[in-house]
Amino acid sequence: MNVVILHGSPRRGRNSDTLAEKFLQGIKETNSPKITHFYVNDMNIRPCQGCLFCENPPHNCRIEDDMQKVYAAYKAADLIVWAAPMYWGYLTAQLKAVQDRMEALAWSGFSDKTFVVLITYRYHYQSAAGMFERIAPHFRIKLHVLPCRTHDGKRDILIADCVKELDDAYRLGKQLGKSEFSIVDSSV
């Protein structure tokens, strides 16, 4: 099993990373995955320029930056984990830049993957989840969305107190780890 984790939070080790670790714990219990971590905030990824260079074969992005590493890992991946908090009703700007740059793969190499979307949020998560739900059928993506509310309307909730969501992430990892994917641990 080849897993790519796109960490979208600028705050390493916090809520969405904790959900991702619980998910990985479940996978590792039932599989020996190759895991590639991308901490997007620490990478040099320029925004999409809308030039449509990628629509022509061989469908490469004209921009040479760290996104080239993401493209290569994405193409080889069985499972892509999008882990991020919600800021102002959507994923972080860091992860949105990665999403926009996926346009280059939309022509070739984006389809037939499994996505796990781990979202921590305060008030709602539907806008981000909805984007994944809209593209999943078109690209034949097996989609799993796991939201975790970390605010009760008055105060922040510690991720450690989100016992159900942490357990859900672990169980989803365990379930997907049992699937037919193939398999070591690396970080970028």
Give residue-wise pLDDT tens across range 60-100.
999 999 999 999 999 999 999 999 999 888 999 999 999 99
Q: Which helix (H) or strand (E) holds 167?
A: helix 163-177
What is the structure's pLDDT at 70?
A: 97
What is the structure's pLDDT at 185?
A: 38
- Residue 123 forms beta bridges with which residues? none
Instruction: Please state, in angstroms and rounded to a whole number, the distance separating the CA atoms of residues 67 and 116.
Output: 20
> What's phi and psi for 69, nearest 5 deg?
-65, -40
What is the structure's pLDDT at 10?
A: 96
Q: What is the pLDDT of residues 147-176, one digit of tens each?
A: 999 999 899 999 999 999 999 999 999 999
**Do the strands 185-187 and 34-39 form a parallel or antiparallel pair, or are they unpaired?**
parallel
Higher pLDDT, 184 or 58: 58
- Residue 142 forms beta bridges with which residues? 114
Cβ atoms of 83 and 7 within 8 Å: the answer is yes
Q: Closest Cα to residue 47, out of 109, 111, 131, 103?
A: 103
What is the structure's pLDDT at 135?
A: 95
Burial class of 160 by CB neighbour count within 10 A (0 to 12, 13 to 18, 19+): exposed
Q: What is the pLDDT of residues 3-55, one digit of tens each?
A: 999 999 999 999 999 999 999 999 999 999 999 999 999 999 999 999 999 99
- Residue 149 forms beta bridges with which residues? 121
Q: Which CATH class is domain 2-187?
A: alpha beta
Domain extent listing, the chain: 2-187
Which amino acid, residue 152? D
Task: Specify the residue for token string 């690209």.
Answer: 139
Whether 121 has a pLDDT exceeding 90, the answer reads: yes
Question: 3-class SS at 92?
Answer: coil
What is the structure's pLDDT at 109?
A: 87
Higher pLDDT, 157 or 187: 157
